[in-house]
Amino acid sequence: MSATDPNKSSPTSDQVLIARQVNKTFFSTSGDKVEALRAVDLSVGRGEFVVLIGPTGCGKTTLLNILGGLDSPDGGEIRFAPGFRREDGLAYVFQHYTLFPWRKLLANVAFGLQMRGVPRRRRNARARDLLQRVGLADFERAYPHELSGGMRQRVALAQALAVEPSVLLMDEPFGALDDATRKDLQQLLIDLWQTTSMSVLFVTHNIDEAVILASRICVLSGRPGRVVQDIPVSLPRPRDHLAQPFTDRLLIVRQALYSDT
């Protein structure tokens, strides 16, 4: 395969992550072949906020898991910027089970640093600082089950940021939240993203959420998932979701989503 050509597949200096021609096929329990991804090309720039949007079951999560190294592709390749290592460059926020129920919040946030051998005092100081930044300074001794869903995702965000990732993968992290909480968390995420140089790759099936957050939107087709359109969103922040340019973008994304199916 020509994908090994270094000139074509190596990320340029402003790209942290490139996926080329990624394929993935599953076999269901009844033995049926399910093609989840077909020849997916995707790149994430340094400091970019990329939103992956697509219909349910289009392989968004599969793609994210492959990029995160939790799953392996059947074909194609994943490339990272030079010097980037998955083990310490990536963080992942899941939709569910994002925290360890047996750890108090402080220990949850400090988990990644503990795995990296950071001494207790330093990692706790850093975790405290992050809990404060997500607005949960008073809850460091609470257990996850004592929190609401929105608060848990705040902690999950702090937990992921603690390891200072260059790329943050997020799989519908706000999908299970009510509207008001979701809006709060979107704002918090944007604030945190703007204070760091990290890139975010964010999966959602909510068009409004995509346009609120993204600096670029990748639209995936229905199964098998392919990237059908790349839509840059250069609207100034904070974004007014009632203004004309915003609603124009919504329409473009909606058209891209529905023209395919």
Binding site for other proteins (CB under 8 A): 68-70, 87-88, 90-92, 94, 96-103, 111-112, 114-116, 143-145, 152, 159-160, 163, 169
Taking the complex as a whole, how short is the minimal distance between the CB of residue 160 and other proteins, in angstroms? Answer: 8
Name which of 149 and 245 has its Cβ closer to other proteins.
Answer: 149
Taking the complex as a whole, how short is the minimal distance between the CB of residue 205 and other proteins, in angstroms? Answer: 20
Separation between Cα atoms, residue 94 and residue 114, nearest integer Å: 20
Taking the complex as a whole, how short is the minimal distance between the CB of residue 159 and other proteins, in angstroms? Answer: 7
Separation between Cα atoms, residue 51 and residue 133, nearest integer Å: 23
Taking the complex as a whole, how short is the minimal distance between the CB of residue 113 and other proteins, in angstroms? Answer: 9
Q: What would the two tokens of residue 165 be?
A: 């990732």
- Residue 256 identity: A
Name which of 52 and 160 has its Cβ closer to other proteins.
Answer: 160
Taking the complex as a whole, how short is the minimal distance between the CB of residue 199 and other proteins, in angstroms? Answer: 16
Name which of 19 and 156 has its Cβ closer to other proteins.
Answer: 156
Separation between Cα atoms, residue 70 and residue 92, nearest integer Å: 10
Beta strands in the chain (DSSP E): 15-27, 33-45, 49-53, 75-80, 90-93, 167-171, 199-204, 216-220, 227-232
Contacts of 118 (CB under 8 A, 6+ apart): 110, 126
Q: What is the CA radius of gyration of the chain?
A: 19
Lookup result for tokens 């529905």: 258
Residues composing the chain: 261
Nearest to 159 by CA among 247, 235, 97, 206: 97
Taking the complex as a whole, how short is the minimal distance between the CB of residue 239 and other proteins, in angstroms? Answer: 29
Taking the complex as a whole, how short is the minimal distance between the CB of residue 170 and other proteins, in angstroms? Answer: 11
Cβ pair 232, 216 in contact under 8 A: yes
Name which of 177 and 217 has its Cβ closer to other proteins.
Answer: 177
Name which of 85 and 121 has its Cβ closer to other proteins.
Answer: 85
Name which of 68 and 222 has its Cβ closer to other proteins.
Answer: 68
Name which of 129 and 240 has its Cβ closer to other proteins.
Answer: 129
